[in-house]
Amino acid sequence: MSANNALTPRVFLFRHGETEWAKLGRFTSTTDIALNPTGSAQVSGMAMMLVGPGKLLDPCRLERIFVSPRRRTKQTFELLLGPKSDFAEGKYTYTEDITEWDYGDYEGLKDHEIRILRQERGHDKEKKWDIWTDGCEGGESRHQVEERLDRIIVQIKEIQQPHMHGEKPADVLVVAHGLILRCFTKRWIGLSIINPLPIMLEPGAISVLSVSV
């Protein structure tokens, strides 16, 4: 691998650490819940192992950082990179475009509770509920999710395009939520979010995307 190829821009996806609702399997989108102690430890541990000069996530290579404005993602960002990091000054943006899928009427419910609710409302007589195709009552459809993710992806590609051959480091970090990051990955590689691409991000997990040049 040449030096230039080694600097091909990457997109780091970081899922926030565990919360009490995530621990219980409750669907969490708009509810502004904080990390629990386990979640804070997850992020701090990943930061120690993977963040720093010469490590996987090198702050010197970060060109932009996009963070969901929920409390749990803000805490994750601060634990991961530090609340007053000089390198991050002017490089990070809080944006609603990467908030979790809005679950609407299903907010705070567990999977089986959602299915019971839908049956009570007369839904799913012919097939089981699938969030990817059916969306959420009172919340977002897949088309709305795709639209806002596509906006952020366009921004990222505009940032990285002038530096695709290693002209300068142009990595981007996205700190967000489990389901929306799975959706982001599908859109990044040009797939609809209904595509059955198996992806799973544990709380406090990091993944890396890139592009062919």
**Confidence tier at 201 by pLDDT (50, 70, 90):** confident
Please write the tens of the pLDDT for every residue from 109-145.
Answer: 999 999 999 999 999 988 999 998 899 999 999 999 9
Q: Is residue 110 part of a domain?
A: no
102 is in an annotated binding site: yes
Q: Is 165 left (phi over 0), alpha (psi -120 to 50) or beta?
A: alpha
Rounded CA-CA distance 48/55 in Å is 10
Q: Which two tokens stand for residue 87?
A: 């390198």
Q: Is residue 116 part of a domain?
A: no
78 is in an annotated binding site: no
103 is in an annotated binding site: yes
User: Distance of alpha carbon 108 from its chain centroid, rounded?
Assistant: 19
92 is in an annotated binding site: no
What is the domain-level CATH number for residue 17?
3.40.50.1240
pTM of the model: 0.90
Q: Is residue 92 part of a domain?
A: yes
Domain count, the chain: 1
Q: Is residue 133 part of a domain?
A: no
Percent of the chain exceeding pLDDT 90 equals: 74
Q: Which domain holds residue 55?
A: 3-103+140-209
Q: Token pair 């120690």 is at which residue?
A: 48
Q: Is 177 a catalytic residue?
A: no
- Of 15-19, 87-91, 159-163, give the range with the top mean pLDDT: 15-19
Q: Is residue 147 part of a domain?
A: yes
Q: Is 16 a catalytic residue?
A: yes
Candidates 16, 18, 146, 177; catalytic one: 16
- Mean pLDDT across 136-161: 94
Q: Is residue 180 part of a domain?
A: yes
Q: Which two tokens stand for residue 158?
A: 């505009």
Q: Which two tokens stand for residue 47?
A: 């930061």
Q: Is residue 109 part of a domain?
A: no
- Mean pLDDT across 177-193: 95
**pLDDT for res 165:** 77
Please write the tens of the pLDDT for every residue from 22-74.
Answer: 999 999 999 999 999 999 999 999 999 999 888 999 888 999 999 999 999 99
Q: Is residue 77 part of a domain?
A: yes
89 is in an annotated binding site: no
**Confidence tier at 83 by pLDDT (50, 70, 90):** low
The CB density around residue 148, as the number of other CB atoms within 10 Å, is: 18
Candidates 100, 107, 140, 146; catalytic one: 100
**pLDDT for res 3:** 41
Cα dihedral angle (87, 88, 90, 94), rounded to 10 degrees?
170
